Structure 1
């Protein structure tokens, strides 16, 4: 009766059971009996095989809909589930069509509780934690934190302004602090110190930076993470005990939950049910087959990429999560759904989660149990979330109306924004609005006049009681009481605007469509269309002096629309009408008058904040703006975005050095503002910022708009204050369709009235954030429930007709107006562009010791090694063996150091090329100016490398000590190092990324080595390969350096097989004839120019950035 494997055995038992019973006529009873038989057969399997099979109900083929009446129960081998079966297992376990995982997790918890099985719990404690780092003068360490316990079954929110130590605390608790940092205090997990166990197997840190392999799809990324983190360990640890206890107590689990838990406990497979579960929870199932992408390669949206970062960690088995700003780039509705799923995970699975968020919406804030509030590295509040407001109110801080609690707490924890004077006035019930400033001034003037008149009368009519004497007051020591309130009032009273002149411009766009070629993954699924439409008949108006919000869920096409309008798309197909003040848009002109704040903050890491702004303003402001005006303007912009105190800070690389995320975001905005554009596009300018920093940025944006500029912002998770700072709204849904366009109105009332006018829409609750409500009532599930399409409703509305009318009016140029024209594409001439780029590149190289200092150190060490290995060999020329040793010394040095130069320059060029794409798109400079600066900046360092290497090796090897030969030796070394360096730059320029450049370069290095004339002498190279000898630069290096050092040596070589001079041996055996020194040098110069020319060509004509 037994079969060779469990599956055959199981099927045999089921069939036998079916034949043993009569079949009732009732179909439902039959189905129940069949299910009973399947459970019975499953129970009779050997215990080691029971975990491999589960029961699953599914619709038979050919039956449409989800009606359970037709569902059939069948056995499935959870080790061999297809993709459709895995998705079916997850769908059945969820028991709902949305992302909510509560039913699934509560059912799992209920199953475990019924048998009294407890899952492992982790309690994290930290006591007197202090982190210290070596920093520049004026900076600080993270101070000591008070004792805190993170209990299970409690989800904790970590709040604090940027720089307060949130990431440092999370890294410290996760055991991922940099080893260079000095840490004191205790961190324990269930009483065990971090050195007593492998922390990485217990907890996971979810970074705020998104680092992924861009060519992998979302599903492949999560499958890889699940497989190598051992996602199956989550349930596998107690599935056997669970099955045993259920069998003892005769408890039958839910088939759906049983199938999910068994499938999740299967390890070693390429694909995992855990991946499908995480895709469902994070809302990534709609883009699971789309590549992740990067700054250079178009992939999923920024919000979806952020969710992939979260998914990479939560797909594993760890139940202690430290989550660092996981909501950056997500709309408030999506953030709420994800945080709610995490809350369910914490409460149902006894997990421990500490999550740092920047701008949590009120409804998201209310999901947390506890709150930890940081300020300047100190814990200023720790306890239940609902008690936080009462705590701050007891200190005199009152929650203003229409402000979220989280935003209020963020502001209160920002020390620079909380003044003593304000709290004293508030505590004494004294007024503090701006109107009372002038009332006070008027009152003081009246008192001054009154007292002066009284003094005059007293002096005129009253006599002194005694002889008057001069009174000399004794001044006490004056204390420096610089109150923050005084500073804030002075700054608040000053209107922040930008003074350089500009021309206000309006942008209209009508029926804009955007298509890309259908992804292969979708085509393979049978999608018949050849193109995928990302924007569908989008129309709107962006007017001067009007701040427009571009809002929509993640993946709705907001960034795509901005890229299309700004001319930043490098591929795809664009349809529609785009005009600037009635004139057709010309991209060459538009780049001069527009700024684009990208979602990804891309800057040269080795320059300071002030230098970044100076570089941008020097290239983009017109020649008519003097240096002093430009300097004043840069200072004004730095002050606007509050970067003046960071003017000398290096930008650094995201997530590893330099500026924080919010500081980098403000720099991105400032780089565009210093160009003094008429139209500014801002892609999520507040993403990654806390409430205070976002308010600062939006004040800057608002002041920019008030000068008459046209500003458009995509925005996620706006607070009420930020959202109502906008004048107009363009709301989009997935598929790139507009569902609302027009004015917001006072307190967003115009927009609220429009949506509340749609039958079935839930009215907005009192005090609720209009932005959050708007996204919640326009989700696909609401459309499905109401049976409407919001995009179709909008196109039939009066709102849409008003926008169409405005587009028609503004699409006609004003009488007598001319389209904007410039004499040249760039504001600076080519020479000025080159000099400014060279100035920046020089700063980058000077501040890259890991590249240049290490290059010189490597050169020195290599020179000493070669010098000692070939010590005094240069004077030994009386045999062919000694001659070949001399040639080997010359050859190996050229190839070894040259290859090192080519390899080490590639990461530098790759990073700067990414920055170049952004700067070229902004119209800063011509590609050749950048390429020339990138090449020329290498020359001084190559020259220093040549002199270092030449002096050491020449005299240690003991070549002939004449000035001419020493100079020729340096010349050939310099040219060799130069063409290798330029080759490395060219390889990056011709390939999409540094890794491919390295692979291709390795092939060329091998061929150059083989066919350079040393390993195989030129006369011995086969005729069909001799052509490569002549195009190999190493062969000309070898010819030139050997000829220059040995070509005139007449020392006699007398040995068996050859008798003659060294000069004759070179001519006969190696074909190194006389007079080739100048030719070799000229050819090497040509190679340098050729490699550099190809690099410049690639920079100008090749664009590997896919947007």
Structure 2
């Protein structure tokens, strides 16, 4: 049985993006899939045919058709994954190039159940039959079925409508083609599809430009390759101040902030308080530049004000700790600074006088005047204002300092207090690209001194955004979307959002697939059986995905991972109990069956859908028996193992996930 093997390749593709590689799926997998379908025909045709002749075909057709169609359906999904993952790029930009081909190839998933099922009235709606005849897999399956069931070993005389042999009857019952000349027509059509697809690919590569141009960021490249000697020099020169400070971290947990609302009962508003921050948690660390981003009204400035203790009204809930100790505002105000968005300075003072005035007010009274002056000079050198030491501050937009110089002066005014923690509210707002870059360079140098710096930012450029080490992203209503490190080229954040969408994407994908295929198979339309089928498919998809991720984590490159996975899939498909029933497997190979997750899925699906059926069927060479008895005596499927089989699915998922995380953490294939 081919059970959602695209999940394996999807998992391999996902984890390969984690490692910055493109996953090349394997076309060879198609051969195993089609062989499984053919074997499914071999298994179920005789029972279905004779059941038809006895007038009790309902149970047999559903049993055999369900098994056979499940194989074809699930095998088709693998082939879809082969196509879906075959059009990507490499590295960080590979996912961007992969989006368009992958999105287009998702359309192919609609054709797999259509191609795997015959276009009969009870199975396929009239408006869907075009998908059956336009799918390449239709012709592949028909060619294989004709090649098998028109063979001499299926030539036993049997009359059913226009069929004269058992093989022809099987093909006709399943709605497939029964004339031999259709074999060569199907083969010719497949060659035609191959030619058309190759020609279209050549034309696309020749005349269509890439939707995403690769942009080289030299600053980011220098950062990644270690070309940051200047930054290290700045660290060394600015880390030693006359007035040393203690690097401190700030941790906040489950912060909620409310304000009173005016009475608006006549408008239908009954709440007395408006919540601006909802369960916000995080940490800001020394030497780490943290960006606080979000749309207007997300609560960025509100969060800064709450952490800094600048909110005089409202109601605050949660805990704030400084270096592990509960925050006390009287102490915190002496070790923290706050740079407001508006640069408010006296226009009649020089830069040096502004800093000296701030130092007089905020430094301890026992500091000597010469030390204070030396410290001011160090701060001016840090923010690159030494050349403007005697320049008048002036009026905004009229005389004196420019906008970015005023912003650097605002930062310097806070730095002369020698704070350990600095909050900055949108330091680049209202500045052009060059001015913003200068300000961010100042902020970066401030962080390199070992201070804890937090900046709110709104609509940053790519250069500014890459200056941050960590990001706290908020949405409207004061809720956190992302909180963590960015990584080179924001790789960590991209990986986070890619992983976050995997589970809902998988659930939606499986639900759509089951909703389309389940009624076509002809199984009983009851809620219990439908969701039982759905749950087994979700579990199946999950362990295949995690197996692919685990394989990539355990192997040095994607080629070895693909080869190893392909070898394992062969055993999983052959010993799943679908192509060869468990009781027909040689005794010395049955351990593979019991160790095979795909066999567990077949076991659970068969019993959950057909285990309670009592229709009598006729199987050649066996006495009359019910569907339930046939499952137990011929296929070896017993009800007492259903709970065990379901639990084994959960265990294997947890095992694959555990091995994946351990391998990802402890196995390193990098070499110098």
Q: Which has the larger radius of gyration?
A: 1
User: Is the pair's TM-score, using the shorter chain for normalization, greater than 0.5?
Assistant: no
Where relative contact order (Cα < 8 A, 6+ residues apart) is larger, the structure is 2
More helix by share: 2
TM-score band, normalised by shorter chain:
0.3 to 0.5
| TM, length-normalised to structure 2 | 0.39
